Structures are given as C-alpha cells and as structure tokens.
Amino acid sequence: MSPTPESASPGGEPLTIAQIADRAGVSIATVSKVVNGRDNVAPETRELVEDLIRRHGYRRRKRPLKSNPLVEVVFHELRGLYPIEVVNGVTRAARRHRLGVVVSELGGRHAPGRGWVEDVLARRPLGVIAVFTELADEQRERLRTRGVPLVLVDPAEDPGPEAASVGASNWNGGLRATRHLLSLGHRRIAAITGPPRLLSARARLDGYRAAMDLAGAPVDPALVRVSDYRVESARRHAVELLRLSDPPTAIIAGDDGGALGVYQAAAAARLRIPEDLSVVGYDDLPMASWSIPPLTTVRQPLLEMAAAATDMVIALAREEPLPRRRVELATELLVRDSTAPPAPRGR
Amino acid sequence: MSPTPESASPGGEPLTIAQIADRAGVSIATVSKVVNGRDNVAPETRELVEDLIRRHGYRRRKRPLKSNPLVEVVFHELRGLYPIEVVNGVTRAARRHRLGVVVSELGGRHAPGRGWVEDVLARRPLGVIAVFTELADEQRERLRTRGVPLVLVDPAEDPGPEAASVGASNWNGGLRATRHLLSLGHRRIAAITGPPRLLSARARLDGYRAAMDLAGAPVDPALVRVSDYRVESARRHAVELLRLSDPPTAIIAGDDGGALGVYQAAAAARLRIPEDLSVVGYDDLPMASWSIPPLTTVRQPLLEMAAAATDMVIALAREEPLPRRRVELATELLVRDSTAPPAPRGR
C-alpha cells in the first residue's frame, strides 16, 4: 500500500519511533512493544501503530536493534522427509556462522494467543527462511518493517521480483522425467501433479506437456490428475488410473511420497514395477532408494537449496548486495529400477 | 569431581562471578564471557575459569540472567522420520508457552570453531532436550553450572537418578512383538537389534529373550544380530539370516527403517511377506503404514514423549518440582499385514 499524499510524513521519509508515538498518541514504550512483538498492548493500539508503520514505513534507530544469532525456518507443515533435508541444509550453513536454527510450522494457525509472526519478532532473528509455504502479505510486511530479511525456498506462489528466493528447475525436471519414459517407448504416460496453484507443480506439469508435445505424443486429459502431496491421495488417483479401459503404462508422481502411493496401487492391482508399470517420483528423498524396486526420480537438491537460502538471508541481514535475488538450482534425473520399456500391448 | 579441601570456598558455597574473577586473576567481564559462551577469550583463560566453576560451582547473580524464549532440541543426527516426529511434539508443546524451538545435531562434531555447547550457552535458552544422544559429561556439566536444565529423550545410556528423562517401555515392546509372533506359531524368530550400548536396544532384546524363554522357545544365537539403526545394515543382516540352512520364519527389526531393509532382503530372495516371512518393526513412523505390505510394528509415542520432555524442561526452568524425574510412556503393538502364521516347513 503506498502512502496517500495527506498522510505521508514530510519528504516521504519513514517515521521514527518518536513520530509514530506522537501520531498514535501513545508512549514510545508502547510503540516499541508493538515493533518488538511484545503482547501486552491493547489490540486497537496495536492496530493503530501497525497501520502507521504500514503507511509510512518505520525508520530504525541509528543503532539498530541487535538481532539474536538465530535463523528462523518456517514450514507449511512438518511432515515427511522433506523438512529434514531442509533443516540439515540450513543447520550446516548456519553452523559456519554460529547461528541457531529455530524451526516452526504454520500448520498450527488455529493455535491460541499470538500468531506466528509475533513470536518470530519477539525472538529478533537475523532472518527468516520460509519453505514451500505461503506467508500472508501482512506477515511479510511485518517482517519487512522490522528489518528482518526473508528468503523463500521453493515458493508456493510467484514471489515477485522484490523477494529473494531459491528454487529448483522444476520445468526441466518434468521434461526430463517424461523424456526418459518416452525414450523407453511409453506413450500412455500419466501425471499425478501437485495443486496447480503451486508454481512448482505447474512448472513440472508444463515440462511434462512440453516433452509429450515435442515427441508428438498426445496428452490424454484423463491421464492428468490433480492431487496434493499426500501418499494416500496419490494412491487413490493411481487406483483410478489403473482401472481405466486404456490404462497408462507409466505414471509420473508429483513427489516421492506420491510414487509410494502409486506402488501401493500397483501392488493392489497385482501389477509388477517396472514390468507392468513404470513409475517416476520427484525429490529423491531417502525413501526413493529404499523403495522396492528403487525409484527412478528427479532429484531436487534440497540440502543445497536450503544452504543457499541461508547464505542469502545472512547476506541480506548484513546488508550485503545479493548477486541475484532468485537462485535456481538444477534438477537431475536419477534412473533406478522403477522404469522399463512398456509391456507389449494386449496383456 | 568433588572439591578438594584446600581449594574449597568458605563453607563449600559456590563462587560468585567476582570470586571466580579474583581467583583466576582476570576481570569480571572475562568470567562473564566464559559463562555466557562468548568466544573472544584465550583458551588458557577459558580453561582456568571453567576449572574453577567445575570445582566450586558458580553462584548466579541474585537477579539471574534472563533466558531467551527458546528451547533447544539436539539430535545425534538429523536423519529419517524420527526427528520430525520429535520436533513436531516439541513445537506443539513449546507453542503453548510461546517458545521458539532451536534444532541442532551433534553429527557435525568435526565442525570447526566453537563446540555445540558454547553455541547453546550463547543463545541462553530456557533449557535443552537431548534426543537419543550422548552428551559428554563435560557438556552436561557446562549446562548445569549455567543453570540450563537438561531433559533426555530416549537416552542412549543410563541417565542416572539425577537426570530428567523420558523414554518408552522398550522391554515391553520387545516382549509384545515376540509374543505376537509366537502366538502365530513362529519358533525360529530372529532379532536384528540396535547397538547393545544403547539401553533401549538392550531392553527390547531382553524383552524378546523373556518372551522366548516364557514360551519355552530356544534363542538360537545365530538368529540374534547386532546392527545399528541403518536401513542398509539391517538389509545385510537379513540377507545373511535368510541364507542360513535353517532360516528364521520371522524377523524382528530394531526400527521401522530396519524392517524396510528386511523387506529388501526378502524381495531379493523372492520371499513374500508375510506368506514366507513375517516382519515386525519398531517406532511406527509414517513409513510403517506406507510399506507394502503395511508393517506390523511397536508404536513408540514419539510425539507425546517429546511433548512430555518439553513440559519437563519448562518446569525445571521455572524451578517447579517434577512429579517424577523419569517418565516412561507405554509402547503398543500395531498388527498390520506383515505378520502371519509361518509357512508349513519343507518349502
């Protein structure tokens, strides 16, 4: 929201804490409490101060508040092996700078009391890494006005040119997975994707479509299934795909967990992998190599992505220039034993 | 180490910061740096001050150093799904008290610079939860002298009567898993255990032996395999077990990951689970229900254990009395599809 002319401070400068206190008609101590995420402030006062900060910006004291040696990592949900890879990447990079890593999730939004962002501000971290999650505009704004840098990993939505973010080349990943199956002779290739509002899911599906198109293979809409990243959902989609009168000979899952769901559906239908059905995953979490048979998958370098995000958040906290605000790391197809040429038709 | 008479402070009282500074011949600021884990102190000075604190104890100022709203969770290694369950349990309990959760691992002991304990002390957390890990005596001592309470979850070694700890009834878990297999008619039951220096691994194995003994089934030493908690190690042990001239008809793995290794070995030997081989896991991580077939396992309530440890560490930080210093939560056998009566002999 840009300041309206009549409410702008002289020269459009952000307000100091004293100016905010003056305009809000409260004490400097009260403004300080709001700025630092303390909770003993009346909701209306908090809103008034927040509104002034939102409209005019907030100029920190000359000697900025010392942040604590902490990096915050927030997940949408702490579930599966994905977060462990990311936490490993962040802790390794953070250790070099002697920073503690605070892990939280947004899943508990129904939690009583203060919200996630207030708790973060109260801890005064060096910066925040948001992983595969959607912070509300208001949450980003609160971090921004307090000078807490934010880096997005695998951002759910388009982070915009302003935001710093790290991702993987999802479109390429989708393309390579599909080309691998095409090169084995598959034409009826199904895709079980993540929700299309997630950019990464959309990019992978577009890569799949591009590969099919380039190979002159038609995309049968019945073979494209919109799922979420849950094993059980993928299993249900795979069961339905395998019951089609003209079923796919290969399925690309949205993630490695989804591939597990496909394995379950194949087992239930008494189909052998890869003889009767080829399966490709996405992520290359440890379970990909533990699967029976080991899973062909697109490796997403989660550890490196997390480490890169940590380095970026530290650079931002030190007000060093970032070489680029968007870092995209390469994905890689790992061919294991879950893919093979399709069985001759008419089984 | 108990104080020697000649070095004890008058009345055996712990020393104040001023007394330590006086005896060490350094400034109070220097002692404060050591106490608070800062790093700009010469190694010899640090050692001298640490030694005085170790021998006499350290009396905190009347107004104790305010701790930050942080709980530390330290793992031996951040690997697999186990840490995610624990972090979930801690964050849920910590959120009620608006505490941030700092996650670290000891795996990086080769990391340069300060050690893990110095970084923890510098963050001044409310307390530390050590999960399935062995803190060195010196690390525990450093936490103790700074008044940072420590709670052990699933302690690797006997925590001693002083230490606060949370565990699960491992002996019962081993007993129930074995009794379940015995009741199905198995007699040749193999156990792939964790390292015997880990109390939990030893307790589970003892439960197995007790069940066998009570049923009058002999324990064949060739069927007891000492492993670690790695999928690959369990796989290798299972391969060897299945190659015995009189192979087991059932295998109890040390954890769910180990059960996966047994699944791999069975697949390689073209044995069907449960028709040709019954398998039992331990933990009930999400992968247990995703396995094909779903895994019969002993549920360890990791989430509840972690939450209980968090409540304990908060109580200790508030100097509230603990109802008990050792909390042991019940394990539970979950029968899924990986166990069945043994196949008739002579296959």
Query: In chain B, what percentage of residues exceed pLDDT 70?
Result: 92
**Interval A130-159: pLDDT, tens:** 998 878 888 888 898 888 999 999 887 777
Flag whether the ipTM exceeds 0.85: no
Please check the confidence at residue B259 and state whether its pLDDT lies above 80: yes
Q: Is residue B24 in a domain?
A: yes
Q: Are residues B226 and B106 in the same domain?
A: no
Q: Are residues A314 and A274 in the same domain?
A: no
Please check the confidence at residue B204 and state whether its pLDDT lies above 80: yes
Contacts of A103 in chain B (CB under 8 A): 87, 91, 101-103
- The distance from CA A89 to its chain's CA centroid, rounded to whole angstroms, is 15
* CATH number of residue A252's parent domain: 3.40.50.2300
User: Is A103 in contact with B101 (Cβ distance < 8 A)?
Assistant: yes
Taking CA–CA distances from A71, the nearest residue in chain B reads B102
Please check the confidence at residue A58 and state whether its pLDDT lies above 80: no
CB of A274 within 8 Å of a chain B CB? The answer is no
User: Is A91 in contact with B105 (Cβ distance < 8 A)?
Assistant: yes
**Interval B53-91: pLDDT, tens:** 888 877 765 445 578 999 999 998 888 889 999 999 999
Q: Is residue B338 in a domain?
A: no
User: Is A91 in contact with B79 (Cβ distance < 8 A)?
Assistant: no
Q: How confident is the model at residue B323 (pLDDT cuts 50, 70, 90)?
A: confident
Q: Is residue A118 in a domain?
A: yes
Q: Are residues A184 and A117 in the same domain?
A: no
Region for A216 from its dihedrals, namely left if φ exceeds 0, alpha if ψ lies in -120 to 50, beta otherwise? left
Task: Output the CA angle B266-B337-A238, nearest 5 degrees.
Answer: 90
Ranges of H-type helices in chain A = 17-24, 28-35, 43-56, 82-96, 116-123, 137-145, 170-183, 199-214, 231-242, 256-268, 286-290, 302-317
CB of A79 within 8 Å of a chain B CB? The answer is yes
User: Is A292 in contact with B292 (Cβ distance < 8 A)?
Assistant: yes
Q: Are residues B308 and B162 in the same domain?
A: yes
Please check the confidence at residue A109 and state whether its pLDDT lies above 70: no
User: Is A122 in contact with B69 (Cβ distance < 8 A)?
Assistant: yes
What's the rounded Cα separation, in Å, for the pair A305 and B171? 42
Q: How confident is the model over A248-271, as a mean pLDDT?
A: 97
What's the rounded Cα separation, in Å, for the pair B120 and B23? 26
CB of A77 within 8 Å of a chain B CB? The answer is no
Give the pLDDT score at A112. Answer: 37
Q: Are residues A321 and A219 in the same domain?
A: no
Nearest to A192 by CA among A235, A247, A243: A235
Q: Which of B95, B124, B277 to mutate to test the interface with A (most CBs of A within 10 A)?
A: B95
Q: How confident is the model at residue A60 (pLDDT cuts 50, 70, 90)?
A: low
Q: Is residue B131 in a domain?
A: yes
Cβ-based neighbours of A223, under 8 Å, separated by 6 or more: A188, A189, A190, A191, A241, A248
Nearest to A168 by CA among A303, A74, A258, A72: A303
Query: In chain A, what percentage of residues exceed pLDDT 70?
Result: 92
Contacts of A98 in chain B (CB under 8 A): 113-114, 119, 122
What are the distances in angstroms from CA B333 to CA B86, B280, B284, B289, B298? Answer: 20, 9, 9, 13, 4
Average per-residue pLDDT in chain A?
88
**Interval A66-90: pLDDT, tens:** 788 999 999 988 888 899 999 999 9
User: Distance (Å) from the C-alpha of residue B265 to the closest C-alpha of chain A?
Assistant: 10
Please check the confidence at residue B343 and state whether its pLDDT lies above 60: yes
Beta strands B189-193 and B250-253, pairing class: parallel
Q: Is residue A232 in a domain?
A: yes
Contacts of A76 in chain B (CB under 8 A): none
- Are the CB atoms for B75 and B85 separated by under 8 Å? no
Which of A258, A285, A300 is at the close of a domain?
A: A300
**Interval B92-148: pLDDT, tens:** 999 889 899 999 988 645 333 458 888 899 899 999 999 988 788 888 888 988 889
Q: How confident is the model over A88-108, as a mean pLDDT?
A: 89
Least confident of A16-30, A325-339, B283-297: A16-30
Q: Are residues A80 and A91 in the same domain?
A: yes
Average per-residue pLDDT in chain B?
88
Query: In chain A, what percentage of residues exceed pLDDT 90?
Result: 59
Q: Are residues B88 and B144 in the same domain?
A: yes
Give the pLDDT score at B65. Answer: 55
Q: Are residues B19 and B76 in the same domain?
A: no
Q: Is residue A3 in a domain?
A: no
Q: Is residue A176 in a domain?
A: yes
Total domains present in chain B: 3
Give the pLDDT score at B58. Answer: 77
Give the pLDDT score at B346. Answer: 52
Strand partners, B326: B165
Q: Are residues A207 and A244 in the same domain?
A: yes
Task: Output the CA angle B119-B122-B123, nearest 5 degrees.
Answer: 90
Q: Are residues B29 and B138 in the same domain?
A: no
Taking CA–CA distances from B37, the nearest residue in chain A reads A98
* CATH number of residue B21's parent domain: 1.10.260.40
- Across the A:B interface, residue pairs with CB atoms under 8 Å apart total 106
Q: Are residues A137 and A120 in the same domain?
A: yes
Q: How confident is the model over B334-339, as a mean pLDDT?
A: 98
Nearest residue, CB atoms, B84 vs list A83, A108, A257: A83
Which residue matches tokens 């549920």?
B299
Which residue matches tokens 């003892």?
B206
Give the pLDDT score at B128. Answer: 96
Q: Is residue B280 in a domain?
A: yes
Q: Are residues B187 and B228 in the same domain?
A: yes
User: Is B292 in contact with A69 (Cβ distance < 8 A)?
Assistant: no
Local structure of A297: helix, strand or coil = strand
Contacts of A273 in chain B (CB under 8 A): none
DSSP state of A312: H
Owning domain of residue A242:
170-300
Q: How confident is the model over A255-284, as a mean pLDDT?
A: 97
What's the rounded Cα separation, in Å, for the pair A123 and A69? 10
Give the pLDDT score at A114. Answer: 55
